[in-house]
Structure 1
Amino acid sequence: MKIKIIGVGKLKEKYFKQGIEEYAKRLSKFCTFEIVEVPDEKAPETLSQAEMEQVMAKEGTRILEHIKDREYVYALAIKGQERTSEAFAKEIDELSTYGHSDITFVIGGSLGLTPAVLKRADTQISFGRFTLPHQLMRLVLTEQIYRAFMINAGSPYHK
């Protein structure tokens, strides 16, 4: 099984990198794990709606370049469906059982994801209505993916 996270922008904070590296190391016994960083589009603090759409479109194009046809895609979106850790684990298990061995998660930039990326996604997932920095979201998502594998393995990690 291959798990990939596509994130907009570079991960700068050392402590986020260290946390992700730790979970990536733990995940290596369950899957091939990869993080792909696509460049964020430089933009001024205040943007018109048209400028926001342009930024999102450019970032969306960069994201879509890294998604293959066979990949099952989760888009992280505030309006996505929330899941419990147990439901998420079951979903991952069922995907791998029914032929989806390449799973990709997409985390947008500060403006979110373009409609083209959301359309390509097989499902949208939400971690609640909070807005989280996309760097932190990478760490949270990586931990939840690890947690899903541990739940599926019957490990007490989840308790």
Structure 2
Amino acid sequence: MKPVKYLMLSLLGMSLHVSAQTTVDDAWVRATVPGQPSSGAFMRITSTTDSKLLAVTSPVAKTVQIHQMSMNGDVMSMGPVEAINLPAGQTVELKPEAYHVMLIDLKGQIKEGDTVPLTLTVEDTQGTKASIEVQAKARALNSMPMNHKGMHGHDAMHDHGNMH
């Protein structure tokens, strides 16, 4: 009987090592004012294997897109991207001045303290997709800068210990 138990534990251990693990920390959504059509979602994502964030969905918005904001000189640009690379063992931070999730055509106001469900689709290098359910808390409008102009040097107020 003992060899069977050891074999089962061995197989279980092997399966745990080959399956990718992706964790999401500090997920939050910016609260909105009544009638505001969109908002942003932010978080830190860490995967144990090279993976990519392919998509995000949420019942609070008709459209959800992964965006990247970048500065070219003094010109800010923002737009959708197909995916975000998640290098193995490295935390990728989605934040207002970089990669982030846009919730577009909101179905209602997101109030401070609300919980916003998000579903992330992550794919590893073998093409295996996984869905990750996240409950993001809505934070006050003034918890992060709304205006991205002139924000240089203010990263400390929203540094979560992982600047990239």
Q: Under TM normalisation by the shorter chain, which class is it?
A: under 0.3
- Greater RCO, 1 or 2 (C-alpha within 8 Å, sep 6+): 1
Give the structure-2-normalised TM-score. Answer: 0.26
Give the structure-1-normalised TM-score. Answer: 0.27
